[in-house]
Amino acid sequence: MIRASNLSKFYGGKHALGPVSFEINDGEAVGFLGLNGAGKTTALRILACDLRPSGGTIDVGGVDAIAEPHEVRKRIGFLPENPPLYQDMNVIDYLRFAGELRGMTGPQVKKRMPDVLELTDLTSVKDDLIGTLSHGFRQRVGVAQAIIHQPKFLILDEPTRGLDPVQIVEMRNLIHDLKQNHTVLISSHILTEISQTCDRLLILGKGKLLGAGSEHDLAASESEIRAVTVTVRPPQGDDPKGRIKKVLEAIEGVKSVAEPFEQGGGLSFALSTTKDCRAEVSRGVVEAKLDLIKLDYSRSELENTFIRLVGGADASN
Amino acid sequence: MRAISIIYRRELGAYLRSTFAWAIAAMLLLVDGILFQGYAMQGEQLSAIVLERFFYFSSGVSMAAGLLLSFRLISEERQTHSLVLLNTSPVRDVEIVLGKFFAALTFLAVLLALSFYMPLLIKVNGKITMMQVLVGYFGLFLIGAAALAIGTFASSLARNQLVAGVVALVILFVMVLLFLFAKKLDAPVRDVLQELDLWWIHFQNGFMRGVLNLKDVVYYVAVTYFFLLLAVKTLEAKRWQ
């Protein structure tokens, strides 16, 4: 388990992160989501013991990362935003170097090498100079150096950055494979990337933790993220809009009713609700002797949650 | 110790594969050869004087090699982001610095060894002892090591290799020219500055003439240690920034 408490980082006088606290359980795939400058990379670099925090504590598998960074580094594999590659080395020599740096012996590296090459699909280029590889292959070499020593925790900072669509799919599949044997932390500002690969999300904005949980939890955690759109045939008489609005506002769970718009011969009203109250809405409309034409329900997707949370952070700063 | 050896092997391999490193070696050996032929061997001189002249300009070549081989050591890694691999491995900053320094020192030693034919020519044709030659080369090695340490420190300071090179050059210039400042001052500051000078007292009056003084050896080892220590402390400090 990784446990970060009141983690903060200042670059000179500039606030970059925190204080933030979070826990990551063994076997989880956790996504750090945030806009550029949100503090994702800073958080990951601290977790990888590349940076020392200005304040707070980090416990990685029972080891204090600040007091004993070497012990933690043995347990962590890190792919930074820019893979740490030596362009003058070939893939095999580079991975051997990375493995030995992490404390592996020559025979251990030799034994592990075929598995890593196969997992990262680098066998065909294993003797090539890294400087001659395509961006996608370099990213894979970056992943390979992170897993060569079989770390328990794998930290990937923007692993799909700069990849073409085919390479993104390949990288996503690779991350899925890695999830079988590692606790994986991934940062990205690409929502679909995170939602497709992670079990849980940590949303960062302006260095603060804005939300944590699964995509479903995050979407459900806020009352106004559910929306019901109801379309009703306008009744005869004066002020049909006002009459329908009054009926809808009286329904339990409806927080607000937006101004209607015409759709398919009816008036459509978007309702902000605290729960899925489609049954109450349909019952209320029928009881008021109104003709119900259409009822739509949409739960907020990750994108809405993200924009709302990050937008809130922006507004508060 | 194991980490130093791993980093040393990688760095030495990088030097041996690097066109830049061999180009530096070729250029400096060419300059050394031209100076030897055009300056040291000029006129009828005692072979001991010729040897002194050889070590005189070879000390400049050795310092230049030290700077050129070291200014990229850490700054290049920072620039290409590969330093992260070392920083996130269970390797101490002192091991990073020493591994790189010893690799550069080995390449410098190879470069110096390639110039050995020149004093051998003097020995074959003149009257000098092998001990004079070895003491002079020991001095070249030590002054080169000090320049390497200065370059390594400058490299740890700057992300940009050019900036690192300029910083190293300025430090080296100041340390070599300290004796000129010292001449304008009174004792005891004058004596202190003279003793701190990188070249005049310790090389010109010692190794260059085939004289091995323990204090000169201690001086160069101390300068090397001091700048390597600064490099280690700089790397450590940058993690807090």
CB of A105 within 8 Å of a chain B CB? The answer is no
The per-residue pLDDT of chain A, averaged, comes to: 84
Interface of B with A in 50-89 (CB under 8 A): 80-89
In this model, does residue A313 exceed pLDDT 70?
A: no
Of B179, B184, B226, B223, nearest to B201 by C-alpha is B179
**Shortest alpha-carbon distance between residue B147 and chain A (Å):** 26
B52-100 pLDDT per residue, tens: 889 999 999 999 999 999 999 999 999 999 999 999 999 999 999 999 9
More confident residue, A303 or B37: B37
CB of A74 within 8 Å of a chain B CB? The answer is yes
∠ Cα A28 A33 A34 (to 5°): 160
| Domain locations in chain B as residue ranges | 2-240
Residues of chain B found within 8 Å of residue A103, distances taken between Cβ atoms: 90
Q: What is the DSSP letter of B159?
A: S
> A46-72 burial, b if ≥16 CB within 10 A, otherwise e?
bbbbbbbbbebebbbbeeebeeebebb
Poorest-pLDDT segment among A97-101, A158-162, A244-248, B157-161: A158-162
Residue A221 has a pLDDT of: 59
B63 with B147: CB under 8 angstroms? yes
∠ Cα A164 A169 A172 (to 5°): 120
Omega of the bond leading into A53 within 30 degrees of 0 (cis): no
Binned at pLDDT 50, 70 and 90, residue A298 comes out as low
Residue B184 has a pLDDT of: 85
Sequence letter at residue B12? L
**Shortest alpha-carbon distance between residue B9 and chain A (Å):** 9
Residue A299 has a pLDDT of: 55
Encoding tokens for residue B93? 């900053």
Range ranked top by mean pLDDT from A65-74, A95-104, A270-279, A286-295: A95-104
Distance CA B236, CA B187 (A): 38
**Global model pTM greater than 0.90:** no
Rg (CA), chain B: 19
Of B104, B195, B114, B93, nearest to B150 by C-alpha is B104
**Shortest alpha-carbon distance between residue B179 and chain A (Å):** 39
What would the CATH number be for the domain defined by A223-299?
3.30.70.260
> Cβ A70–B90 below 8 Å, yes or no?
yes
Binned at pLDDT 50, 70 and 90, residue A316 comes out as very low
Nearest to B81 among A74, A84, A97 (CB): A84
In this model, does residue A101 exceed pLDDT 90?
A: yes
Residue A126 has a pLDDT of: 92
Distance CA B239, CA B227 (A): 19
Binned at pLDDT 50, 70 and 90, residue A265 comes out as confident
A3-33 pLDDT per residue, tens: 999 899 988 888 888 788 988 888 888 988 8
In this model, does residue A222 exceed pLDDT 50?
A: yes
CB of A66 within 8 Å of a chain B CB? The answer is no
B126 with B50: CB under 8 angstroms? yes
> Cβ B89–A98 below 8 Å, yes or no?
yes
Poorest-pLDDT segment among B39-53, B124-138, B204-218: B39-53
Interface of B with A in 2-21 (CB under 8 A): 3, 6-7, 10, 13-14, 17-18
Give the CATH fold of the A2-220 domain.
Rossmann fold (3.40.50)
Binned at pLDDT 50, 70 and 90, residue A301 comes out as low
3-state secondary structure of A270: strand
3-state secondary structure of A211: strand
Binned at pLDDT 50, 70 and 90, residue A223 comes out as very low
Mean pLDDT of B107-113: 96
> Cβ A101–B6 below 8 Å, yes or no?
yes
The alpha carbon dihedral of A261, A262, A264, A269 has a sign of: positive
- In the numeric block, the tokens 């043995």 are attached to A74
Of A178, A83, A88, nearest to A136 by C-alpha is A83
CB count in 10 Å sphere of residue A241: 13
Cα A213 to Cα A30, A184, A219: the distances in Å are 9, 15, 9
| Domain locations in chain A as residue ranges | 2-220, 223-299
Residue A114 has a pLDDT of: 95
